Structure 1
Amino acid sequence: MTPLASVVIPAHDEESVLPQCLDGLLAGTAPGEFDVVVVANACTDRTAQVARSAGVRVVETPLPGKVGALRLGDARCRVFPRIYLDADVGLSAESARALVAALDRPGVLACAPVPEWDLRGAGRTARRVHRVHDRMMGPHRVLAGVGVYALAEAGHARVFPLPDVVCDDEWVHRNFAPGERRAVPEARSVVRPARTVRAHLRRRVRVRLGNRQLDALGRPAQSRLGLRPLVALLAGRSVSPLDAACYLAVQVADRALARGSRGAPVAWSTDSSSRTDGITR
């Protein structure tokens, strides 16, 4: 049968999370329904073996880097549309089908699921920060920050081959007008954010550096969040004053760290906190 879509999964030392990712994606599918390519890049564990045991195609490379892995996997894809899925993110076959269906709608070139946050093991402060961040970003988030995006053939032509950027999902998001990209409510991704404030700050510094990189490439952000959405959340009692205080404190630290990292090389690394179940504070 002709696959419904190709799925590219970049994976650097993802032995611990890849089985769950593949099990969720392939459960209940017909043989060959999805053309899945796992790109094991610079792995020192059993990522490639895990992928092969699941019956999907595997590409191995000694070169590290998510964007390079995405390009390699993309070159091996057999069909359109194409779904790009982080190895530590959950996406069911039903959600993948919903993404494919959304790309059949007139004018839609790119889409993504609505995220569900798995906060098991997260510390109290990290939970409060994520709660505020999610409520502030929810109305604006489409393709970035949900661990999955899908591209129609015409959308793919606009953003591939990916440039050497840290935030590939943000690069994709910024290349489409609001009417060309959709969040698909029938599709859900399960995302495990940083479990600790320290890990969250490390991630945020990378995101800020990546955004700066995209600005330099002529893809500036289409909107910037200020304090007004936070005030609105407080007024509507969607978040508590303690939630807001924790969020603001972390934002101050975030900005200070970002200023201190100006001129530093931009690189992506794995957040190990989101790949453990230990409860931290």
Structure 2
Amino acid sequence: MTPALSVIIPACNEALYIDACLRAVLASEMASDNGLALQVIVSANGCTDDTATRARAHAPGFAARGWALEVLELPGLGKPGALDAGDAAARHPNRAYLDADVTVSAPLLSQIAQVLESPEPRYASGHPVVAPARSAVTRAYARFWVQLPFVAQGVPGFGLYAVNAAGRARWGTFPKIISDDTFVRLSFSPAERLLVSARYEWPMVEGFAPLVRVRRRQDQGVREIAQAFPHLLINAEDTKPPKRRLLALAMRDPLAFATYAAVSLAVRAGWRGQSGWVRGR
């Protein structure tokens, strides 16, 4: 049986990133003789740039591999609406949800498609790697952040998460919340989350103020889920490192620790306050 996967890419004004994202998907390898049936749906959500045009230009390359690429030009529906539109167009019951600024490694999608071939509910992702940053602040923040238990030990799924048919049946339309990835991850127990060996590259926002905006948005998203879906918290991980581990990290890289702490303090202090979903870059 050929593993099959529908990949849904919500994209709002992602002209700077969509080409690299789709080129990486197109370069996906087959991990078995059974191949891979792949459908890619770009949900161009309220775009005022040429995201849709750029995405559509990749269609011949996908067709040459026997894969489908569809571009939906949508009004501004918000990310949940764009995800729902992608789901409505999806042909395969197993789904991957991929941010437009993420680039997957060649084996990743095939590995994910294989582990999702199960009658039991499954959630899957790969190993996230932070893309090289231009900003010294972002580089320092990232060095500390990637060592947190949530990133280093779990299946975080930020930028890319996938579910099989039994897993997708756990919710209907995407709730209109800030953090869709947290909602989906917490819809599965830790035992149901699978980490494959392949990697994907995820960009972190550049500079102190954008880092604060994104960190605040993340914290607000977690609180929103705790209020709206408290039953999901049973699947939450302990993301705080033990004090001894925290001290060791701080001593090993004081600048990285200080940068991470400064961003956290700025969020707690309400510096440049915001509410709801905001774009980091």
Which bracket does the TM-score occupy, shorter chain normalised?
Answer: 0.7 to 0.9
Q: Secondary structure of 1:257's partner?
A: coil
The whole-number CA distance in structure 1 between the counterparts of 2:195 and 2:208 is: 28
In structure 1, what is the equivalent of residue 62 of structure 2? none
Following superposition, the deviation at residue 73 of structure 1 comes to 0.5
Aligned residue in 1 for 2:171: 159
- Once superposed, what is the RMSD of the aligned Cα atoms? 2.6
Contact 1:5 1:81 (C-alpha < 8 Å) held by counterparts: yes
Which of the numbers 170, 183, 199 marks the counterpart of 1:188? 199
Q: Deviations over 1:202-230 (max 9, x none)?
A: 1011111111211111245424444x536
- Give the SS at the match of 1:114: strand
Q: 1:248 aligns with which of 261, 265, 269?
A: 261
| Match 2:277 to one of 245, 251, 267 | 267
Match for 1:41 among 28, 42, 45?
A: 45
Q: Check 1:260–1:45 CA distance in 2 against 1; reply closer, same or farther (3 A cut).
A: closer
1:23 counterpart letter in structure 2: R
**Structure 1: segments with no counterpart, 5+ residues:** 273-281
Contact 2:17 2:100 survives alignment (8 Å): yes
Q: TM-score, normalised by structure 1?
A: 0.85
**Following TM superposition, by how much is the alpha carbon of 1:105 offset from its aligned partner in structure 2, in angstroms?**
5.4
Q: Following TM superposition, by how much is the alpha carbon of 1:259 offset from its aligned partner in structure 2, in angstroms?
A: 11
1:204-260 deviations in Å (ceiling 9; x for gaps): 11111111211111245424444x536414426784223222222221112222895
Distance 1:119 1:28, change over 3 A: closer
The residue type paired with residue 70 of structure 2 is R
CA shift at 1:63, angstroms? 1.7
Task: Find out whether 1:82 has 2:92 as its counterpart.
Answer: no
Following superposition, the deviation at residue 119 of structure 1 comes to: 2.2
Do the aligned residues in 1 keep the contact of 2:121 with 2:166 (CA within 8 Å)? no
- Superposed CA offset, 1:160-190 (max 9, x none): 32111111000001111111112222x2111
Cross-structure match for 2:110 = 97
CA contact (8 A) 1:82 1:150 kept: yes
**Alignment partner of 1:113: what SS?**
strand
Contact 1:143/1:173 (CA < 8 Å) preserved in 2?
Answer: yes
Q: Provide Cα deviations, 1:73-124, integer angstroms capped at 9, x if missing partner.
A: 1110001211110000001342000111122357451111110111231x22
- Structure 2 residue 92 is matched with structure 1 residue 57: no
TM-score scaled by length of structure 2:
0.85
- The farther-off stretch of 60-69 and 102-111 is 102-111
Partner of 2:66: none
AA paired with 2:162? Answer: A
Q: Alpha carbons of 1:160 and 1:60: their partners in 2 closer, same or farther (altered >3 Å)?
A: same
Runs of at least 4 residues of structure 1 off by over 3 A?
A: 28-33, 105-108, 223-226, 228-231, 236-239, 258-261
